[in-house]
Homo-oligomer: A and B are copies of this chain.
Amino acid sequence: MRDNAPCSRADIAASTGLNKATVSSLVADLIDRRLVRETGLTENRVGRPATMLVLDGSPYASIGLEVNVDYLTAVAVDLSGERLLSWRRAFPGATATPAQAVAAVAALTRRVVNRMTKDQRQVLGVAVAVPGLIGTDGTVRVAPNLGWHEVDLAGDLAKALRDPGFPIQVENDANLAVLAEHRFGPLGGTPNLVYLTGEVGVGAGVILDGRLRRGGQGFSGEIGHIQIDPQGPRCRCGRTGCLEAVAGIGVLVSTTDPAEVESEIDEVVRRAKAGDAATLDQLATVGRDLGRGIAIAANLLDPDAVILGGYYVPLAPWLLPAAADQARALSIAADFGGCEIVASTLGYGAAALGGAARVLDSVDSGRLPSP
């Protein structure tokens, strides 16, 4: 129904192969739960007009949050995918303690939840994106840019919200961003996707066969520290030639203050638009190195598409051609295995949006709210 709305019960029966009677009873249950709503009838067709069905957006909301080095983001989405709210708020993530972060996130969450309940919506769940290694149990093992170590964010947040009555999840930012692309992006539904976060760090989110793949410990997608060039520059992690040391956003900016990165990137864009040779050169070099990293992921995973996010998006006009050339040259499959490289269109809120997507995923996979 999400893909083909509005559609009739008969449409669903035809496309799923289920019996009309079965569809009717299932739809009745979904209407009881206020997940689905009848809209008008079809007209101007032979035969009895069909009563059309749509996902009912109004009674529920799904909330996604993102903690980052310089801001908190909150997104709320309804069941039909409509964006209800998108807030961004400055936050000194790089210097705040985990306890301060929990308090700030809890405060923001409370405000979003209040807004939702004022709108008569029930909150289905909250998922928080964190840039770092997240264990399979949802605790933050380590988030270098936030200076966090073994923080049970989900538990602390639940405590701060005093048993909020909806589940709270924590997940890696790249993992959530790729979920956002999979549900809301122009390549939505594509079964094999890789998403690259373009921040000072570079992380990957990997969807294979339609599901997020988190690896054994939940640490998959750590592409930022694969070694692109053993003779490359030293990375802040202490190793040499890491992808993020040669193709991270940090290569293009001089500041170490995360709050200033955005304006510096704007400046790079300005110089590139003006045709500044040194800038164009530097962007081409970063693009090629990024292409090397993409080629590695593509050779290993054979995705249908690689999506560039974060600050890679405004720089895409200059990065993409070089990256695509390099990736194609280094790919073993003919024609790059039909894999596309594209810039994300979801903007900076991708990870938070992915949090909301994750909550919706759990509804789609059967955890329905009771009637």
Are the CB atoms of B142 and A223 closer together than 8 Å? no
A4 part of interface (Cβ distance < 8 Å): no
Once A226-B296, A231-B231 are accepted as A-B contacts, the answer to whether A215 and B330 lie under 8 Å apart by CB is: no
Distance of A303 from chain B, by nearest CB (Å): 6
Whether A300 lies near B213 (C-beta < 8 A) is no
Contact A213 B219, beta carbon cutoff 8 Å: no
| B295→A227 contact, CB < 8 A | yes
Cα–Cα distance between A227 and B330 once the two chains are bound (Å): 8
On whether the beta carbons of A222 and B334 are closer than 8 Å, the reply is: no
Segment from A204-212, A268-276, A362-370 that makes contact with B: A204-212
Asked if residues B299 and A223 are in contact (CB atoms below 8 Å), the reply is yes
Residues of B within 8 A of A121 (CB): none
- The minimal Cβ–Cβ distance linking A245 to chain B, given in whole angstroms, is 13
Write the A238-281 contact mask toward B (1 if CB under 8 angstroms, else 0): 01000000000000000000000000000000000000000000
Are A300 and B338 in contact, with the CB atoms below 8 A? Answer: no
Question: Please, which residue of chain B has its CB at the minimum distance from the CB of A305?
Answer: B216
Interface flags for A338-349 (1: CB within 8 Å of B; 0: not) read: 110000000000
- For residue A152, CB closer than 8 A to chain B, the reply is no
CB pair A300–B222 under 8 Å, yes or no, is: yes
CB contact under 8 A between A133 and B333, given known A216-B304, A223-B300, A300-B297? yes
A321: shortest Cβ distance to chain B, in Å? 19
Partner of A296, one of B216, B220, B296, B339: B296
Residues of B within 8 A of A204 (CB): 300
Q: Is A218 an interface residue (CB 8 A)?
A: yes
Asked whether A213 and B209 contact (CB < 8 A) given A226-B300, A296-B226, the answer is yes
Give Cα A228–Cα B292 distance, bound, in whole angstroms: 10
Q: What residues of B have a CB within 8 angstroms of the CB of A37 in the complex?
A: none
Contact A230 B227, beta carbon cutoff 8 Å? no
| CB-based contact B302/A339 at 8 Å | no
Does A217 lie at the interface of the complex (its beta carbon under 8 Å from any beta carbon of B)? yes
Known: A226-B300, A227-B295. A213 touches B220 (CB 8 A): no
A292 surroundings in chain B (CB, below 8 A): 227, 230
- Contact of B295 with A220 in the complex, beta carbons under 8 Å: no
A215 proximity list for chain B (CB < 8 A): 192, 208, 301-303, 337
Question: Are A299 and B225 within 8 A (Cβ)?
Answer: yes
Interface status of A314 (Cβ within 8 A of chain B): no
Give which listed residue, B206, B213, B338, contacts A216 with CB less than 8 A: B338
* Residue numbers in B under 8 Å from A231 (CB-CB): 229, 231
Q: Chain A, 187-209, contact with B by CB distance < 8 Å: what is the 0/1 string?
A: 00001100000000000101011
List residues of chain B with CB within 8 A of the CB of A295: 226-227
Which residue in chain B gives the minimum CB-CB distance to A299?
B222
- Mark A170-194 against chain B: 1 for CB-CB distance below 8 A, else 0: 0000000000000000000001100
Min C-beta distance of A147 to chain B, whole Å: 16
Residue of B nearest to A214 (CB): B302
A230 nearest CB neighbor, chain B only? B229
Assembled-state Cα–Cα distance A333/B206 (Å): 17
- The smallest C-beta distance from A152 to any residue of chain B, in angstroms, reads 17
List residues of chain A with CB under 8 Å of any chain B CB.
133, 141-142, 191-192, 204, 206, 208-209, 211, 213-231, 237, 239, 292, 295-297, 299-304, 329-330, 332-334, 337-339
Closest 7 A/B residue pairs (Cβ): A215-B302, A216-B304, A219-B302, A220-B302, A192-B216, A222-B299, A225-B332
